[in-house]
Structure 1
Amino acid sequence: MTEETEELPSSKLGTKEYWDSAYNHELSNYKRNGDIGDVWFGEESIERVVTWMLESALVNVQSSVVDLGCGNGAFLLYLQVDLINDEDKEKIKTSEFDVTHDKGTYDAVSLCPEDPKSKRLSYIKAVHRITKENGLFIITSCNWVHHELIEHFSEYFSKEHIIPTPTFKFGGKVGTQVTCIVFRKVSK
């Protein structure tokens, strides 16, 4: 992060307590009536990423994928394919992944009331550490635009692809509700 980024205003959405409470509530709802709860940024956001992964030569069925801050697991439901039996699952101990996915977790970290800049940097370093060499990091954000995310992650990742998202026009300006970028890990 070479350029000074203006921090976002803090929010309860930036606290672990908020998310623990929210997902405990969603888990209770799921147990009662099978409702998985809110799909942050909408199902279209998940479908865009999954479609890109399916069509990209950079990802295949053997690629290991981790969904950071997976919340209610909505993204993972799109990826679910049971290719191995339960005995084999116990042998899997992956600490690095071919694809690291984030849909809103960096946004939540950015809203942390206590020292968000250092929390964001720690998050970026952790993502770099768990992403395999030449691996991909796919992020969907509603708080940051393309150039800001590219700047934030530039020391550890290079931009590979921008996944197009719907645009809207307001007050003569064109914008998007979310930004989605595929980064490639760079060696440190």
Structure 2
Amino acid sequence: MAGFRLPPEEPEVSPQQPPQQVRVAGDLVSDDERSVAADSWSIKSEYGSTLDDDQRHADAAEALSSAANFRANSDYNSDKEEPDPEGMASMLGLQSYWDSAYADELANFREHGHAGEVWFGADVMDVVASWTKSLCISISQGHMLNHVEDLKSEPVEENDKYLSSWSVLDIGTGNGLLLQELSKQGFSDLTGVDYSEDAINLAQSLANRDGFSCIKFLVDDVLDTKLERQFQLVMDKGTLDAIGLHPDGPLKRIMYWDSVSKLVAPGGLLVITSCNSTKDELVHEVSNLSQRRIGVSQEHEIKDEEACREPPFRYLNHVRTYPTFMFGGSEGSRVATVAFLRN
């Protein structure tokens, strides 16, 4: 859904074409404003795996404010001289933003055949797909390796045997390109969901064009899922990031964890790729789920408090091959991919 992006190919747009507008949280927001909001997420990704959140947010806010100076005051329905950077960033947490974005990308695909944004970049997507494949094969073989990258290559036929039993769900699938990569790796039971109908239409169109008829796509909101099935592997590439940018982000994140804990089968995997949270931050968030569950059980006088003490997930592994850098005395990478095991 979001993170590092490769810029899409420029469509042929008539200079006389007026900017489209979408309604977001009661205000009209132009395509330029939506672009700035998307850029703010990319800015965050440059610091996404450092532990200095204040610096990361300050730089994103500064860049947003600078970009706002190039726009006329009439672009904003506000009494402020400059738009609120945090408010702009929170647009990426709203469904109306993504509905508009994927309406544009679907129209661009139909006119020019472009696949659209590659969130986090193609290189990261390739790493996520191949690393997840190795992790699933390792688990299927009864191994729990600390360094998945150390796995020895298996014949393709052996890989297919191991991976055919893994049912896969991609939440916030967007254009569905991650599922295409997982299909290339040997996974065959693949489902993608997104709350944007145009995202699903785009993903289905791309899958049909590229010969991935095995992938199923459904319109579904992970925070209010209608899925009644559990999956051995649930993938999240940027969806938790977007949820965290909603104006009610903290509450939405609680809803997220409650929902995915029901979607991942016992003993299954949840693989999260994020540009706004570090590996340690994600692990810490999961470890705190048990405390929140205890509080809920006490509030509602649930007797089986012991069952609430165990968090639904535990940390299993993370990608170690992303480039790292030093910032603020801490070493980190710009993207974090972490696997959690469903208890």
Question: Which deviations, in whole Å up to 9, do the C-alpha atoms of 1:56-94 show, x marking residues without a partner?
Answer: 32262220001100011110111236969x8xx8xxx87
Question: In terms of Rg, which structure is larger?
Answer: 2
Q: Say whether 1:43 aligns with 2:177.
A: no
Question: CA separation in 2, counterparts of 1:152 and 1:83?
Answer: 31
Query: For 1:163-178, what aligned pairs fall within 5 Å after superposition?
Result: 163-164=319-320, 165-170=322-327, 173-178=330-335
Question: 2:206: which partner in 1?
Answer: none
Q: Which is worse superposed, 172-181 or 126-135?
A: 172-181
Note closer, same or farther for the CA distance 1:159–1:171 as it changes in structure 2 (3 Å cut): closer
**C-alpha contact 2:164 2:188 (8 A) present in aligned 1:** no
Q: RMSD between aligned alpha carbons?
A: 2.4
| Structure 2 counterpart of 1:134, from 267, 274, 294 | 267
Q: TM-score, normalised by structure 2?
A: 0.47
| Structure 2 counterpart of 1:107, from 238, 241, 250 | 241
Q: Which is worse superposed, 64-73 or 170-179?
A: 170-179
| Structure 1 counterpart of 2:276, from 139, 143, 148 | 143
Question: Which deviations, in whole Å up to 9, do the C-alpha atoms of 1:151-174 show, x marking residues without a partner?
Answer: 212332101101122212346543
Question: 2:231: which partner in 1?
Answer: 97
Q: Say whether 1:157 aligns with 2:260.
A: no
Greater relative contact order, per chain length (Cα 8 Å cut-off, separation 6+): 1
Percent identity reads 37
SS of 2:139's partner is coil
Question: Which deviations, in whole Å up to 9, do the C-alpha atoms of 1:100-143 show, x marking residues without a partner?
Answer: 00000000000001x21111010011111000011000000001
Question: CA separation in 1, counterparts of 2:167 and 2:332?
Answer: 33
Q: Say whether 1:62 aligns with 2:219.
A: no
Question: CA separation in 2, counterparts of 1:15 and 1:58?
Answer: 36
Question: CA separation in 2, counterparts of 1:16 and 1:55?
Answer: 34
The one-letter code sitting in structure 1 at the alignment partner of 2:258 is K
Identify the structure with the greater helix proportion: 2
| Structure 2 counterpart of 1:24, from 103, 109, 116 | 103
Q: Say whether 1:125 aligns with 2:258.
A: yes
Q: Say whether 1:80 aligns with 2:213.
A: no
Question: CA separation in 2, counterparts of 1:120 and 1:14?
Answer: 11
Q: TM-score, normalised by structure 1?
A: 0.83
* Structure 2: gaps spanning 5 or more residues: 1-52, 58-85, 141-162, 190-212, 217-226, 288-310
* Structure 1: gaps spanning 5 or more residues: 1-5
Question: CA separation in 2, counterparts of 1:181 and 1:83?
Answer: 22
Question: CA separation in 1, counterparts of 2:180 and 2:104?
Answer: 19
